[in-house]
Amino acid sequence: MKKVCIRVERSFGEQLRLLLLDLELLDSDYPITLEGQHLILPLRFRIEDSVLSKLQHQTTSLTLVEKELALQKHRPTNLTEILQDIVPADVLPKIPHSLDIIGDIAIVELDEELTPFAQEIGKGLLLVHRNVAAVYSKAGIISGPHRVRALSHIAGEVRTKTVHVEYGIRIVVDVADTYFSPRLSTEHNRVSELVQSSEKILDMFTGVGPFALLAAKRQPVTVFAIDINEHAIRCLNKSLELNKLAGEVIPILGDCRPVVQEKLCGKADRIIMNLPHDSIMFLDTAAIAAKPTGAVIHFYTITSEENPLEKQRNEVLALLSSYGAVSNIVNTRQVRQTAPYESQVVFDIQVEGTETTSVI
């Protein structure tokens, strides 16, 4: 049967598949096929030009095609279908409907009542997500200076290292020893699109380097990528071997305060501060790193009923002023919801200059 499909580069295939699922456009009764360096994703119906245009904003390689496809054998499409005869009916509604897929590793959060069925849930996820090779459940909160969480293996291969593809870059991640969230992919892309040629960028809490890698992939820039986690810097160095970049990423292992004070005072055109629970504690360091002629700071924080948005905006501007900086918040964006009544947000701050800035 002839089906309307989307043809897209393999590097963007998984992101597009998830997006089409969310929009209920992907026809799971037909197979996703490989055609050279492109994937063919079958659609339930022909989409309108306006929808196609929005999808093409994510990648210009996306086109509509018609292909002769055969129905594939029925396979379970969701966990509820798989587990309805295994999990008690009163617990079934608590089966998770979302998870993080990092490369070919899935991480899921299970309600306490579901923990006795963890292995069955893991095996079910392997059936539903054909690109997943290992499944882990969250076994604690993100904590410590390295921002990692304990994980429990529940199905598939016993390994924690993988390669995650995001907007054409390959990111090496060890989910046991480093922090990485695929839910920040849109934000990584947004910031990279703001980057200008020849900028000097300071990524103060780089982790495995998604901001740094994507910025340097697209523009001839220099990114100083700092992190205190040796595992994260090791992953970033491996990613640099896998990607062809237009610019340069310089991984630096250490605490950003002494690194900036010793090497990077007054050198940054753009500063990324993605440590949302603690960024406020390092705003003085960002002010010192900013070029005397001005810089942009992407400041990430968590807002809640106890710590509302307007209060934080005023606090950030007051602190920068106390450091001698003339600043203005030019954009505020909700990045994602992190808990009920709690969100991660970003302030894009234009800093015109600081009295404390001096070039070493």
Q: pLDDT tens digits, residue range 103-158? A: 999 999 999 999 999 999 999 999 888 889 999 999 988 878 888 889 999 999 99
Q: In this predicted structure, what is the pLDDT of residue 356?
A: 46
pTM to 2 decimal places? 0.78
**Residue 60 has what pLDDT?**
65
For residue 75, the model assigns a pLDDT of 64
b vs e for 286-295, b when ≥16 Cβ sit within 10 Å of the residue's Cβ?
bbbbbbeeeb
Res. 17: pLDDT tops 90: no
Q: Angle, to 10 degrees, between the axis of helix 230-242 and the axis of helix 210-218?
A: 30
Q: H or E stretch including 122? A: helix 118-128
Nearest to 166 by CA among 101, 223, 241: 101
Instruction: Give the mean model confidence (pLDDT) for residues 213-220.
Output: 97
Query: Is residue 20 within 8 Å of residue 32, measured between CB atoms?
Result: no
Give the integer Cα–Cα distance in Å for 215 and 192. 5
Q: Which residue has the higher pLDDT, 211 or 96?
A: 211
Whole-number average pLDDT of the chain: 91
- For 39, other C-beta atoms within 10 Å of its C-beta total 21
The answer to whether residue 223 scores a pLDDT higher than 80 is yes
Say whether pLDDT at 59 is over 90: no
**Predicted local distance difference test score (pLDDT) of residue 11:** 83
For residue 357, the model assigns a pLDDT of 41
Q: In this predicted structure, what is the pLDDT of residue 175? A: 97
Q: Does 213 score more than 50 pLDDT?
A: yes
Spell out the domains of the chain, with CATH numbers in brackets. 2-68 (3.30.70.2580), 79-159 (3.30.300.110), 181-351 (3.40.50.150)
What is the band of 13 on the pLDDT scale with cuts at 50, 70, 90?
confident
Structure-token pair, residue 284: 């003085």
Which among 296, 292, 295 is positioned nearest to 354, based on CA atoms?
Answer: 292
State pLDDT tens for residues 243-289: 999 999 999 999 999 999 999 999 999 999 999 999 999 999 999 99
Q: In this predicted structure, what is the pLDDT of residue 359?
A: 34
The 3-state secondary structure of 291-352, one letter per residue: CCCCEEEEEEEEEECCCCHHHHHHHHHHHHHHCCCCEEEEEEEEEEEEECCEEEEEEEEEEC
136 neighbors 105 (Cβ within 8 angstroms)? yes
In this prediction, residues 348-357 reach a mean pLDDT of 75
Query: What's the CA dihedral at 267, 273, 275, 276 to 10 degrees?
Result: 150
Mean pLDDT, range 20-47, rounded to an integer? 88
Confidence of residue 73 (pLDDT cuts 50, 70, 90): low
Say whether 6 sits in a helix, a strand or coil: strand
Contact 10, 36 (CB under 8 A): no
pLDDT in tens, 277-334: 999 999 999 999 999 999 999 999 999 999 999 999 999 999 999 999 899 999 999 9
pLDDT(340) > 90: no
